[in-house]
Amino acid sequence: MATFEDVVCPICGCLCDDIVATVEDNKIKGVKNSCSISATKFLNYHKHRLTSPLIRKNGEQVPVNLEEAVEKVAEILTNAEYPAIYGMALSSCEAQGLGVELAEEVGGVIDNQTVTCHGPTALGMHDMGMPTCTLGEVRHRADLILYWGSNVEESHPRHLRRYSVLSKGRFRKEREERKMVVIDVRKTASARPADLFIQIEQGQDYELMSALRMVLQFDEIEEESVAGIPVEKIEELAELLRNCEFGILFFGLGLTMSRGKERNIDAAISLVRDLNKWAKFSIMPMRGHYNVTGMNEVTTWQTGYPYAVDLSRGYPWYNPGETTFVDILRRGECDAALIIASDPLAHFPKDVAQNLCKIPFAVIDPHPSVTSLVADVVIPSAVTGIEAEGSAYRMDAIPLRLKKVLDPPSGIYSDEELLQMVLEKVRSMRG
């Protein structure tokens, strides 16, 4: 029996790096320090696996050898006019870099799950910049922690305990030394530990932020309430924000997916910028997939842009709304796709998913997904962070090293190795 300490958890943007995994007979027998989602992954990742490469023939997926599957993927991408490489928020940075290279080689679009999570955050950041910090600074110094449109207890179950309200920091040791505010449409489990919960009307975040900015500047609001919140309560919140020493606004998809989208992010960043007149205040998106931040970093350092990059012109072209995977599918422009560690048929709007089903596409994934069930080619991969090592970026853009704690099943390769194979095959086909 072997014990692995300080294993980095490959679930969410918290990248908790204190997991203890006990391994026996090349299986994980137990984990410590995991949240419920993390423990479910570590203890079940080996079940329900894709075991053989598959190619869809006459509507049925049939097992093939790896060489044949890699060749078919290369053929699909090489024969396309405008292919897309999509996903990899659940892969290592090393694999992500190869994904970008592959998109450049085949002259297609490289995009990732950012498009349906914090894409509007990237757009807001382009407009406004982003006064941010690390989770370590929050843990050690923050005395006012605001979650806006984020059900942190269900999406990032250890965030409160490791990095924010319930953590023991160097300068903020006790729960009483911090105030927690939650603003959300639903009164979720995340509202329970809050000192102040504000239940906002759906889709009126921009209005509340504008009102809050006015109240902070001691302007008078002529309405009795804004976004369903009485003005007295907005004043109470403003007072709390103004009087902290180190505040942080964590925001989730409640802002990015609702009416206003990137304008909500503009308003949130403006609010934080205003608050720096009175206190040190930072803002941070609650990134979901464990290495979606890494995908933005890698895509940026290789192309100059964080997601939705069109490489079909021979140089990077970035225009979300035009070059985003959802939009090139929506308009029926994309004519082939390689999906890596992602499940767009489960999470894209139905009509967009239908358009993906009309074109040839391949999937690389450790597990069967909704998308893999009907893919033209499926290649099983190792589980990054358990069976393959690599780099990943935490939600605050701190890079950490994912560990390999045991071997993948025989004949199963990492995303990085598989993408290298596809890249080499594409290059040999293109001469």
Partner 1 sequence: MKGFKATLLTGRSLKQGMGKEISKTSDRYKESVSICEVHPKDMEDAGLKERDVIRVTTQFGSVIVKCVPSDHIPKPGIIFIPYGPYASALIGMNTNSTGMPTFKGISAEVEPAPGEKVLDIRQLLTNLGR
Quick check: 304 binds partner 1 (CB under 8 A)? no
**What is the b/e burial string over 200-229, where b = at least 16 CB atoms within 10 angstroms of the residue's CB?**
beeebbbbbbbbbbbbbeeeeeeeeebbeb
Cα–Cα separations (whole angstroms), residue 189 to 155, 183, 204, 233: 11, 12, 21, 22
In the region spanning residues 153 to 192, those forming contacts with partner 1, defined by CB under 8 A, are 153-155, 157, 185-189
User: Dihedral angle at the C-alpha atoms of 231, 180, 259, 394, nearest 10 degrees?
Assistant: 160
* Residues 199-218 contacting partner 1, CB under 8 A: 199, 202-203
What amino acid is encoded at 337 in this protein? A
- Return the residue of 244, 345, 362, 402 that touches partner 1, per CB under 8 A: 345
Q: In 217-283, which residue ranges form alpha helices assigned H by DSSP?
A: 231-242, 253-256, 262-275
User: How far is 42 from 213, CA to CA, in rounded Å?
Assistant: 44
Question: Is residue 20 close enough to count as binding partner 1 by CB under 8 A?
Answer: no
| Binding region for partner 1 (CB under 8 A) out of 16-24, 115-123, 172-180, 219-227 | 115-123
* Interaction of residue 389 with partner 1, rule CB under 8 A: no
330 lies in the binding site for partner 1 (CB under 8 A): yes
> In the set 367, 397, 399, 409, which binds partner 1 (CB under 8 A)?
367
Nearest residue (CB) to partner 1, 46 versus 280: 46
Site for partner 1 contains 373 (CB under 8 A): yes
Contact assessment for residue 110 and residue 334, using Cβ atoms and an 8 Å cutoff: no
Q: Residue 60 phi/psi, 5° resolution?
A: -120, 140
Pair of tokens at residue 422: 């596809």
Q: Judged by CB under 8 A, which of 151, 167, 381, 384 binds partner 1?
A: 151
Smallest distance, partner 1 to C-beta of residue 358, A: 7
Q: Which two tokens stand for residue 307?
A: 């997601």
354: contact with partner 1 by CB under 8 A: yes
The tokens describing 336, both together, are 């082939």
What number of chain residues touch partner 1 (CB under 8 A)? 64
Question: Is 390 near partner 1 (CB under 8 A)?
Answer: no
User: Whole-angstrom Cα distance, residue 47 to residue 63?
Assistant: 19
Q: Is position 278 an interface residue for partner 1 (rule: CB under 8 A)?
A: no
Provide the edge-to-edge strand list for the sheet that holds 19-24.
2-7, 19-24, 27-32
What contacts 219, CB < 8 A, 6 or more positions away? none
Instruction: Round to whole Å and give the CA distance between 418 and 84.
Output: 17
Site for partner 1 contains 385 (CB under 8 A): no
* By the rule CB under 8 A, 391 interacts with partner 1: no
Identify which range of 101-109, 119-127, 274-282, 334-342 contacts partner 1 by CB under 8 A: 119-127
Judged by DSSP in three states, 214 sits in helix
Site string for partner 1, 44-83 (x = CB under 8 A): xx-xx-----------------------------------
Choose the stretch contacting partner 1; rule: CB under 8 A; options: 81-89, 99-107, 235-243, 353-361. 353-361
257 is an interface residue for partner 1 by CB under 8 A? yes
Residues forming contacts to partner 1 in the complex (CB under 8 A) are 11, 36-37, 40-41, 44-45, 47-48, 115-116, 119-120, 123, 151, 153-155, 157, 185-189, 199, 202-203, 253-254, 256-259, 261-262, 288, 308, 320-322, 324-327, 330, 343, 345-354, 357-358, 367-370, 373-374
